[in-house]
Amino acid sequence: MTDEQTESASRPAGRVRGRIATAVGVVGELLITAGVLLALFVVYSLWWTNVMADREARKQADHVRESWARGPSGPGALDTKDGIGFLHVPAMLGGGEVLVKPGTGGDVLNEGVAGYYRRPVKSAMPWDKQGNVTLAAHRDGHGARFHNIHKIKDGDAVVFETRDTWYVYKVFKELRQTSRFNVKVLDPVPRESGKTKPGRYLTLTTCTPVYTSDYRFVVWAELVRTEKVDARRTPPKELRD
Amino acid sequence: MYVWIWRHLPGNAWVKSLISLALVLGVVYVLFQYVFPWAEPLLPFNDVTVDDSLPTPATEWR
């Protein structure tokens, strides 16, 4: 009763209180809106970009497979722009495969593929006599191809499939966390891996910890053998079990 | 803010609900199609490569 009395008695005070209530209400709605926006961004990053990238990657992979089936076999007839081959890493990808394309820019990697480095250190090709094949792909979102990179252990197989050859690598070193400026990991002879002599190496890089990109995760493998692709594209034994 | 929009939508509660739903879907579409793809490279969540150069203003101007 006293409340009603004071409110009717002092109009200006009531109006001020009403205005404050409105302002608080608007601020509250803005905060809720910001929260919903951030939640939507998470949904976009971790789900929608994967949907889009999976669709795009499948299309591009089919395109490469078709052109391999069509094209004449023989060296030098490789179309590098569409992709140089497929990466198989059972420990990380299960039975999946990742198309490898030139470049590590967002426009390439966002298509759900892996890219080989063109800068700051130019990647070698798997068929080169020696050098370091350096690859990057997303840890989360945009296909998240290297999401399970932490499951790779020493001795695991990494197989690079080109039109005519299976290149079978064996993992010998993981660098679980390094600076994002550490471009030495891409060197033809990556000394941080313990190697001192030129050889045929393969380097996988992605960001770490999961969902952020404060550091980089690096995995090194070394070529153990190559296998000619047969007419039925029988995979090497590393991919069969 | 949202109460204000609700009051200014035409029709009864059902029509208002339908229009609201359409508006929400439209906003989500614009966000997913245009705003988030634009904002994503500006946020430091998904850089996966090692690189010795920071994206300084000088390199962006070029």
Output the six-digit token pair for A48. 């929608």
Q: Does A26 touch chain B (CB under 8 A)?
A: yes
Q: Which residues contact B36 (CB under 8 A, 6 or more apart)?
A: A40, A41, A44, A45
Look at B46 and A140 and tell me if their CB atoms are within 8 Å.
yes
Who has greater pLDDT, B58 or A60?
A60
Q: Among candidates A78, A57, A66, which has minimal Cα distance to A126?
A: A78
Please report, as a single letter, which amino acid is at residue A229: V
Task: Please tell me the CATH code under which domain A48-239 is placed.
Answer: 2.40.260.10
Query: Residue B34 domain-assigned?
Result: yes
Query: Residue B51 domain-assigned?
Result: no
Query: Residue B4 domain-assigned?
Result: yes
Mutate to test the interface with B, among A183, A187, A219 (most CBs of B within 10 A): A183
Domain range for B34: 1-41
Q: What is the pLDDT of residue A213?
A: 87
Query: Residue B46 domain-assigned?
Result: no
Query: Residue B58 domain-assigned?
Result: no
User: CB-CB: which of A37, A41, A205 is closest to B49?
Assistant: A205
Q: From CA B60, how far away is CA A215, in angstroms rounded?
A: 23
Q: What is the pLDDT of residue A101?
A: 96
Query: Residue B55 domain-assigned?
Result: no
Mean pLDDT of A207-233: 93
Annotation says A231 is catalytic: no
Q: What is the pLDDT of residue A72?
A: 67
Q: Which residues of B are less than 8 Å from A146 in CB distance?
A: 48
Q: Which residues of B are less than 8 Å from A139 in CB distance?
A: 46, 48
Counting residues of chain A whose pLDDT is more than 90, the rounded percentage is 78
Query: Among the residues of chain A, which ranges form H helices?
Result: 2-9, 11-43, 49-70, 90-93, 106-109
Question: Does A228 have pLDDT greater than 90?
Answer: yes
Count of structural domains within chain B: 1
Q: Report ipTM (2 d.p.).
A: 0.81
> What are the tens digits of pLDDT across the range B2-61?
889 999 999 999 999 999 999 999 999 999 999 999 998 888 777 888 886 554 333 333
Query: Residue B8 domain-assigned?
Result: yes
Q: Which of A38-52, A85-99, B43-57 has the least mean pLDDT? A: B43-57
Query: Residue B59 domain-assigned?
Result: no
